[in-house]
Amino acid sequence: MNEHAPPADAATLVEARGLSRIFRVPVHGEGTGAALRHFLARRYKDVVAVDDVTFSIRRGERIGFLGANGAGKTTTLKMLSGLLLPTKGSVRIGGVDPFPKAPAFLRRIALVMGNKQQLLWDLPAKETFRLNAAIYGIDDATYARRVDELATMLDVARLLDQPVRKLSLGERMKCELLASLIHGPDVLFLDEPTLGLDVNAQVAVREFLRRYNETTGATILLTSHYMADITALCDRVLVIHEGRLIFDGDLRALARRFAPRKELRLELPAAVTAADVAHVAGDGVAGDGVAHVATDGRVVRFAVDPAQLSATLVRALTTLNPVDVTVTEPPIEDSIARILRGDTGGTTPTTTATHSAPATTATTEPRA
């Protein structure tokens, strides 16, 4: 199909090496004088959106790009799909450089953007499908079969003859997916595909993507800032923070990496004193391994490095006579939420659980 050397590993689909993207942004000043100066001699500053990102993806993987707004997820996705030229570094999709957008390459990929639509607003969704089929050169029989299959999988068969403007947001996104998949792509780029959808529609889109991946073996790369999308769908997560790839691995590894400490919660018979805290913390013996998190009346909580856990427990049990002891691993959602807030430096576990999903593992009974 192409003259590029095949990738080292035949199963490798995406190769990104040292991918960087710098945007030049004009600097504006305030006021008319500044506006005039800006007009005459523009000043620019360089904004590094993606900085030296390297990874490879195997055929059939479901990859989630995770990061705060403006972290560089969408820029990365655009470079992978050939929409943006990397400032530095290279991308190969199936051994092909995506940027020239060769027709053979474009026929293999699909891009779905949650906040943008390609469906013709005033017409039934079917019209868009037919148009795309013509553009991609799909014959009538294949077209009919694909629409049939996809419409069944997405449960939208009854919606295809209604004008798009009459559909709900969720129904519209399902039709967007159908329109994007009519040519049977084997690489899917999805940028925030569940943006703004209600919970049911989010689940439906996720389930569809999983089934599409399982039945066709297509590779799925998606960005999202709904953690549920990532945890429910992706077997591998790439975390991008301030343009850099700071994590590449599966969900469990992500939890270990960003929430390596367990939470130790002690309920004491009397109000907690500073001396109690200092004692459990090991009076400096344990170094940074134990950190005091919060005190609330008779309850005190610590973040404990797993290596220090037994020693700390012994200290607490022997001297403080706690009424109740709990050791938990903070839920992965919390650690992800921290990443999305742009807070990756600290290792202190989040103390407020804002998500209903249960913790992935718990060494003892979770807190009541």
Partner 1 sequence: MRIARILSLFWRTSWAAEAEYRGNFVFAALASAGNLCASACSLWLFYQGGGGFPGWTFDESLVVLGLFSLYTGVVGSVLAPNLGRIVQHVEQGTLEFVLLKPLDSQLQVSLRVLSPWGLADVGWGVVLLVAGLARSGHAQPSLLWAIVPLSSGVVLLYALWFLVATTAVWFTKIYNATEVLRGLLDAGRFPMAAYPAAYRFVFIFIVPVAFLTTVPGEALLGRASSSMLAASPFVAAVAFVAARAFWGRAMRRYTGASG
Which of positions 112-151 make contact with partner 1 (CB under 8 A)? 113, 115-118, 120-123, 127-128, 130-132, 134-137
Looking at 14, 21, 91, 312, which residue binds partner 1 (CB under 8 A)? 21
How is residue 152 written in tokens? 């069944």
How is residue 363 written in tokens? 């060494």
What b/e sequence results for 151-174 when a residue is b if at least 16 CB atoms lie within 10 Å of its CB, and e otherwise?
bebbebeebbeeebeebeebbbbb
- Asked whether the beta carbons of 278 and 295 are under 8 A apart, the reply is no
Instruction: Find how far residue 319's CA is from the centre of its chain.
Output: 45
305 lines the binding site for partner 1 (CB under 8 A)? no
Closest distance to partner 1 from the beta carbon of 238 (Å): 21
Closest distance to partner 1 from the beta carbon of 146 (Å): 17
Closest distance to partner 1 from the beta carbon of 167 (Å): 15
Which of positions 82-101 make contact with partner 1 (CB under 8 A)? 82-85, 87, 99, 101
Place of tokens 């055929």: 59
Phi, psi dihedrals of residue 149, rounded to the nearest 5°? -60, -50
219 lines the binding site for partner 1 (CB under 8 A)? no
Nearer to partner 1, 118 or 363 (CB): 118
d(CA 353, CA 328): 12
Closest distance to partner 1 from the beta carbon of 241 (Å): 22
Looking at 106, 177, 181, 190, which residue binds partner 1 (CB under 8 A)? 106
155 lines the binding site for partner 1 (CB under 8 A)? no
Which of positions 225-254 make contact with partner 1 (CB under 8 A)? none
Nearer to partner 1, 62 or 78 (CB): 78
Closest distance to partner 1 from the beta carbon of 325 (Å): 53
CA within 13 Å, CB half, 141: 0
Nearer to partner 1, 182 or 268 (CB): 182
d(CA 22, CA 99): 16
Nearer to partner 1, 101 or 252 (CB): 101
CA within 13 Å, CB half, 189: 20
Nearer to partner 1, 143 or 247 (CB): 143
d(CA 117, CA 128): 11
70 lines the binding site for partner 1 (CB under 8 A)? no
Nearer to partner 1, 108 or 315 (CB): 108
Closest distance to partner 1 from the beta carbon of 115 (Å): 8
Nearer to partner 1, 225 or 301 (CB): 225
Tell which residue, 312, 278, 318, 313, has the closest CA to residue 295: 278
Size of the site for partner 1 (CB under 8 A): 35
Closest distance to partner 1 from the beta carbon of 353 (Å): 36
**Residue-by-residue DSSP string for 193-253:** TTTT--HHHHHHHHHHHHHHHHHH--EEEEE-S-HHHHHHH-SEEEEEETTEEEEEE-HHH
Tell which residue, 288, 299, 286, 297, has the closest CA to residue 325: 299
| CB neighbour class for 307 (10 Å; exposed up to 12, middle 13-18, buried from 19) | exposed
Q: Quick one: which segment of 77-85, 222-230, 290-298, 357-365 binds partner 1 (CB under 8 A)?
A: 77-85
Looking at 73, 78, 174, 262, which residue binds partner 1 (CB under 8 A)? 78
Nearer to partner 1, 221 or 303 (CB): 221
Could you list the residues that contact partner 1 (CB under 8 A)? Answer: 21, 23-24, 78, 81-85, 87, 99, 101, 103, 106-107, 109, 111, 113, 115-118, 120-123, 127-128, 130-132, 134-137
